[in-house]
Amino acid sequence: MNFIEFQRKYKNAPLIYSRDVVRESRNQKQAVRNQLRRWQARKLLLKLKKGVYVLRGETAPDLNWIANRLYEPSYVSLEYALSFYDLIPERVTDVLSVTTLKTKTFQNELGNFVYRHLKPETFRGFKKAGDPKLPFLIAEPEKALVDFIYFHLPMFGKDPAAVLKESYRLQNHEELDKGKLRRMGKLFGSLKLMRVLDDVCRMMEGES
């Protein structure tokens, strides 16, 4: 198969997996993989990770959707989700996710895709968002904040609310459900996390 034929066949595929190309090709596995590498070297394909590509010259799928697919199961969370919901003013460039798999990072031309490990019992509190044809999973606002605090617990000393307000400039928190914050926090079984969340909830109540 030449590249024109390949492009025609996979033009509408959001992601191209080498295993699928091998399965659908009449050529030997290694020959197909070598061809994909040559097309990558010629800047015809963009490699996202081993065995996963997108066609150059085509509009790449949403980065959040790609993040979900590069490492499954996972959902977008942490500072990236907080920025998505406008809970912090900074634009976060790395796509940050959580997963039940081991911690992992993928770097490619589209950006950095970072995954932090969570225990299975805490892997909840997310929803579908984005294009209905290519929806992605993202933490609900409350879970994004809980995930963030959990992974940064050493930063939160005697005044956790001040850390969020001054260092991260937490904003628009009046929309957050304090009950849901506490319910999500209890999943982690951490007394320190619950103390931080209680302090944050008191701050929210004082400003409401």
At 49, which CATH number? 1.10.10
Please compute the mean of the pLDDT values over residues 105-117 and round it to a whole number: 98
Instruction: Based on the fold, state whether residues 19 and 104 are members of the same structural domain.
Output: no
Instruction: Based on the fold, state whether residues 47 and 96 are members of the same structural domain.
Output: no
Two tokens, residue 176: 């957050």
Instruction: Based on the fold, state whether residues 183 and 118 are members of the same structural domain.
Output: yes
- Tell me the whole-structure pTM to 2 decimals: 0.94
**How far apart (Å, rounded) are the C-alpha atoms in residues 41 and 55?**
13
Residue 59 confidence class, pLDDT cut points 50, 70, 90? confident
Please compute the mean of the pLDDT values over residues 35-62 and round it to a whole number: 95
Question: Residue 205: its pLDDT value, please?
Answer: 86
Question: Residue 86: its pLDDT value, please?
Answer: 97
- Give the DSSP letter of residue 136: E
Residue 105 confidence class, pLDDT cut points 50, 70, 90? very high
Q: How many domains does the chain have?
A: 2
Range of the domain at 137: 63-207
Question: Residue 158: its pLDDT value, please?
Answer: 78
| Comparison of pLDDT for 5 and 59, the residue scoring more | 5
The per-residue pLDDT for range 153-171, each reduced to its tens digit, is 999 887 888 888 888 899 9
DSSP per-residue codes, 175-197: GS-HHHHHHHHHTTT-HHHHHHH
Instruction: Based on the fold, state whether residues 113 and 195 are members of the same structural domain.
Output: yes
**How far apart (Å, rounded) are the C-alpha atoms in residues 143 and 101?**
18
Residue 208 confidence class, pLDDT cut points 50, 70, 90? low
